[in-house]
Structures are given as C-alpha cells and as structure tokens.
Amino acid sequence: MIVLGIETTCDETAAAIVRTGPDGVGEIVCDEVMSQIALHAAFGGVVPEIAARAHVEVIDKLVRRALKKAGVKIADLDGIAAAGGPGLIGGVMVGLTMGKGLALAGSKPFVAVNHLEAHALTARLTDGIEFPYLLLLISGGHTQLIAVKGVGDYARLGTTLDDALGEAFDKVAKMLGLPYPGGPQVEIEAAKGDPARFEFPRPMLRRPNADFSLSGLKTAVRLEVERRAPLNRQDVADLCASFQASIVDVIIDRTRVGLRLFHEKCGTPTALVIAGGVAANSAIRGALNRFARETGLRAVQPPLALCTDNGAMIAWAGIERLRLGLTDDMNFAPRARWPLDAGAARGHNPKA
C-alpha cells in the first residue's frame, strides 16, 4: 500500500508518502515539512489568519515535491489522506480541500484523518508496537493522556483544563523576554538555574483524575516576575529551572494516575508512548524514562521529527484506516474540534 498524507492543522505545512510491504511494516518514502515558525515569531504565537494564508501558498509545491521525491504519480497511490481536524480551521480547510481535490481527480479513496489519531498511531509506524498502549501527547496544541486500544478505539484518560504544556512554556518564555518558540529557550535557561529557588505550585497533584491544569502555575510565575522586576540573568535562569521542575513533577504525577486509570479500564499497556514537541525537553524525557523503568513499562519515543507535526503520521493513519476499509466521502467537513473518543466532551480545552 502507498499513501499520500497532508497536514495543515497548525503552523506546519507537510506532505509525505508512506508505504507498507507485504509484512504490513510501514516505511516513510519521503516526508516534506515547511515550518511557519519564522512568520509567527514576531507575534509570540501562531496567528491563524497568517497560518492559513501560508498553507495556501506552499501546499501545491509541497505535494508536487513529495510525489517527485518518491517517484510516484497520483495514479500509483492506494489512497490520499489529509488531516480533517482538530486544529485552526483555516489551515484545516486548505489541506482537506487539497486532499479531496486530488482524490476526486485521481479517483482514489480518501481518508480524513483525525490529527490526534495520527499522533496516537505514529509509534506503530516507527516501533511497530501492539495495542493497547498509553500515549502521553504533549505539544503546543495538545496535552492528553490517551489509552490507544485500536484504530478508531481510544479512551481519553486526561486532558488539560486550560493551557497546553507547550503553550505554558511559550507564555513563560514570553514573560521572561525569551524568543518564540519558548520551550527550547526555557530548557536552556533552566540548565543554568536553581530549581529550588522558587517554590511554584504543582497543580492537580494527586487528583484522582488524570487531567492537567497549568494556568495557576503560569500565574505564579507571572507574579514572581512582577515582584522581582527588573530581572537579572540569574533570576531568569532560576525562574525557568523552578518552573520546569514544577512541570516535571506535574507530568509524572498525571502520567502515574493515567497509568492507574489505564489498568482499571483497559488492562496492561504494551508501552508508554511519549509524543509532541514538549517531549524534546530532556528533563521531561529523563523523568518519564525513569518513571517507565520504575513501573516496568517500555517507554517509546518516536524520533522528534515524527513526534511534532508532520505528513508521515497522516499518511500512516490513512494506511491504518484503509487497511480496515475505512474511508470518507467528499462531504467530510473540516473540524476545529474533534475529540478522539465520544466520552471526551467533558474537557474544556478548545484545541481538543
């Protein structure tokens, strides 16, 4: 099977070709990504209107380049997959319409992929892991603990009630005058700072549900920044280190509860899969690896380029669905919100 995947839900325009051999193992033939970070940097965050326009400008070139690099034509494909949401609606419309147009013109099966499902299934492409597993998805747009039980079969165990983790990193960076995207900058500063200097709250600690809440922590950092202004370089480093230490504690505590809920609802997971841009943070990754060792879990982290938004994950999710005969028709409408499980409506995060 060979499938084209298109991703445009946030600030990455991506097109990729993924194929499977007779054994069903996936192989990324090519994965073209164009990041818009430079366009949004001046605003300190993603501007939806700018994102949508930038997707329009490059999507056709990117798809053409992916096909050329892979040495395939539309006629050779077994299907076309495009992210149908959740995400910034203007961007979703661009990729979805492109995917539908190509499918229609080439008389190919079409799959509208849930972007979260694509993140959830990536570890099966990279590491071939079996269902069921526990996914911790931590990025600028998503913060979720998900029981991945099968294709189309998910239970959301926890989500953020306010900011996504990456968003919290980016906002704290902004308060401290660090450039966008702030997560990597905060990590660099934190390495030079004292994590014990400021005692920031650990929101939701030991709550029996696996939800996250980050606005209280963010406010605590803001108050400290205001109290100490003007900040010297050591203050910035210590604030970053203390903030990051709090985040690490929160992630481990929430993942521990997520794992308990997983055992209660779905049995024993085959692995703990860690995905999303925030998983690039070595303090967070280190703590999660220690946690996995302690609990006897296998920790799996797909390569970073496949943890952040990309086209290969959309193509792979397309393959997983096509193998089960699951396709979508031309009436599929773009979705700003699209929870992975029907029972997930209780979350308040507008991005989930």
**Sites of contact with Zn ion (CB under 5 A):** 309
Distance CA 39, CA 35 (A): 9
Q: Does 170 bind ligand KG4 (CB under 6 A)?
A: yes
Q: Which does 91 bind (CB under 5 to 8 A by kind): Zn ion, ligand KG4, none?
A: none
Residue 146, strand partner residues: 135, 156
Instruction: For residue 166, state whether it binds ligand KG4 (rule: CB under 6 A).
Output: yes
Position 187 contacts ligand KG4 (CB under 6 A):
yes
Tell me how far, at minimum, the Cβ of 275 lies from Zn ion, in Å: 8
CA distances from 299 to 133, 155, 260 (A): 10, 19, 16
Q: Which option in ligand KG4, Zn ion, none does residue 187 bind, with CB closer than 5 to 8 A by kind? A: ligand KG4
Three-state SS at 130 = coil
Q: Which residues pair with 248 in a beta bridge?
A: none
Alpha-carbon distance of 296 to 262, in angstroms, equals 15
Stretch that binds ligand KG4, among 133-141, 146-154, 248-256, 335-343 (CB under 6 A): 133-141
Q: For ligand KG4, which residue of 90, 91, 141, 334 counts as binding (CB under 6 A)?
A: 141
Binding mask 260-299 for ligand KG4 (x = CB under 6 A): ----------------xxx-xx------------------
Q: Residue 86 interacts with ligand KG4 (CB under 6 A)?
A: no
Using CB under 6 A, which of the segments 68-76, 138-146, 212-220, 334-342 binds ligand KG4?
138-146
DSSP letter at 12 equals E
Q: Which segments of the chain are extended strands (E)?
A: 2-7, 12-20, 26-35, 79-85, 110-114, 133-138, 143-150, 153-159, 272-275, 299-300
CB of 55 to ligand KG4, least distance (A): 14
